[in-house]
Structure 1
Amino acid sequence: MRRTVRLLRAAGRHAVLIAVAAAMLFPVLWALITSFKPANDIYGTDPVPWPASLEHYRVALDDFPIARLLVNTFLMAAGVTLAQLAVGVLAAYALVRFHVPLRGWMMGALAVALVVPTQSLIVPHFLMLAELGWRNSYPGLVLPQLSGCALAVLLLHEHVKAIPPGLLGAAALEGATPWETLRFVVLPLLRPALGAVAVLVFISTWNEYLWPLLAAPARDHTTIQVGLQLFQNQEGPNPGPLLAAAMLSTLPVVVVYLLASRRVADAFLHSGLR
């Protein structure tokens, strides 16, 4: 009897999770299906695009600078990811390895920074950008987004803290400098965590809209999220090519996440373990 009750409860939980997942995936699936429909069938009631057409993808690739927008987005996301990893590793290692005054207050400030929306920093970031003349440039897209590195620092700090102190002490006894300890001992042990943090930062930066809209509004320097508005004309949006471009813009993120989804889950599951 108890086993039956447990099975029914597990089935109920899985049914709820499946329903929630289906509700979240339905808009994406509908957009994918519609992107393969011919232009005269987009607003039709038939859910199956038959015969399937690549017309919208051809228009998106030939008539709009999709390749340039994707390259700009990739360079921005990769630049922010590498910069946040560098800051996160150095900050986490310094907080664990050295005596830092007010370390507890610093960790508290990092935790508070997680709940501060980055949009609240738009005005000072934009003023700094205009003063430096970095509008429509890659440094202007990348560097201000380092203000959101609190999550990277906290996650990497927990993983560095989980490294046995005796291992770091043994490296010091062998004559290794702090930089050598970081390079040859800490970094190899942090590879799974670095991969997980890189995926999280890359995906969140790839989906950024507001900052690229302000920092790089020019057509040749903006990102794919902002560039999707190019598919609107005086008559209104062009839904077919717009959906095709939206599907193309999701491919890099999907590939990156599928390659490292296990590391993302592992980073959160083990970030608080000792």
Structure 2
Amino acid sequence: MPSPSATRRTVGTVGRHAFLLGAVAIMILPVLWALAASFKTPGGIFDSNPLPSPATLDNYRVATRDFPVWRLLINTIVMAAGVTLLQLLIAVPAAYALVRFPPRAHRVLVALIVITLLVPPQSLIIPLFLTISHLGWRNTFPGLILPQLYGTGLAVILLRDHIRAVPSTVLGAAVLDGARPGEVLRLVLLPLLRPALGAVAILLFITAWNEYLWPSLAAPDIDHATIQPGLGAFLTQEGPEYGPLLAGSMLATLPIVAVYLLASRRVTDAFMHSGLR
């Protein structure tokens, strides 16, 4: 017969798993409903049957034929990839330089970076909008991408933690061999940071992909819009096209799901085991 302590541990484990399963169900049920509804006929979207009966691909045909879904997806991929790449190009040397600062200066700089993360992005909308309007960057990729670099501080903080976890003996050996700081970063740190870079890149990509407010202001033209505000094209004068709208929403999630599935192991390893293993 199991002891009372073993019984309590078993009950606690079952309770935690039940709570997690309930949380997953709450998060995934709306997605499953939208997926099922995207295969329904216009008259069956709001019926009581959660499954499409009969199932149809008409919503996807309308979304890809009558609306510029593919153009919106291409614009979003270019924007998200550009934001991710530029933020990493800035964050990697910044995080390396931050680690090399003396302790007192290091703490001050980290505090300043954290303060930038606490500033609501919405408070920067007006100056950024006026800047790209003055430069003539509305409805352009520079206008979409460059203002979003204000969020680089998060990548700097995450990469700093991974760089600090690298043993100092590894860096010291490279310096004794005559490597300059740039060579240490390029030849020693970057190979060690590949899992962390992959994880941070995915977080940055997903954040940029889901951005709504800035793209809706910087690129209001449907030919230059991204997928999040561009889904508003399904709200026609005759009323919302719910079926094609749901189909477009499902198509918008495919790149993110594919990226995460291909790199989920790397993301887990990077955040569960920072630095060297």
- Quickly name the TM-score band, shorter chain normalised: over 0.9
**Partner residue of 1:143?**
146
Q: Of residues 36, 39, 58 in structure 1, which corresponds to 2:39?
A: 36
Q: Distance in 2 between matches of 1:20 and 1:95?
A: 38
**Partner residue of 2:87?**
84
Does the alignment pair 1:253 with 2:256? yes
- Secondary structure class of the residue paired with 2:253: helix
Q: Distance in 2 between matches of 1:97 and 1:2?
A: 49
Cα deviation, 1:159-208, whole Å, max 9, x if unaligned, reads 11111222222212222222211111010000000000000000011000
1:52-201 matches, cutoff 5 A? 52-97=55-100, 102-201=105-204
Shift of 1:272: 9.1
**Partner residue of 2:30?**
27
Q: Distance in 2 between matches of 1:168 and 1:272?
A: 13
Cα deviation, 1:35-94, whole Å, max 9, x if unaligned, reads 001122122211111221000000001111111100000000000000111111010111
Q: Distance in 1 between matches of 2:242 and 2:15?
A: 38
Change (3 A) 1:59 1:97: same
Q: Mark the runs of 5 or more structure 2 residues left unpaired by the alignment.
A: none
Q: Distance in 1 between matches of 2:175 and 2:231?
A: 53
Q: Distance in 1 between matches of 2:276 and 2:118?
A: 23
Shift of 1:31: 0.5
**In percent, how many aligned pairs have the same letter?**
59
Q: Distance in 2 between matches of 1:115 and 1:40?
A: 46
Change (3 A) 1:143 1:161: same
Q: Distance in 1 between matches of 2:222 and 2:274?
A: 41
Contact 1:36 1:52 in 2 (8 A): yes
Q: How many residues are treated as equivalent by the alignment? A: 274
**Partner residue of 2:225?**
222
RMSD: 1.8
Shift of 1:150: 1.1
| TM norm structure 2 | 0.94
- Secondary structure class of the residue paired with 1:149: helix
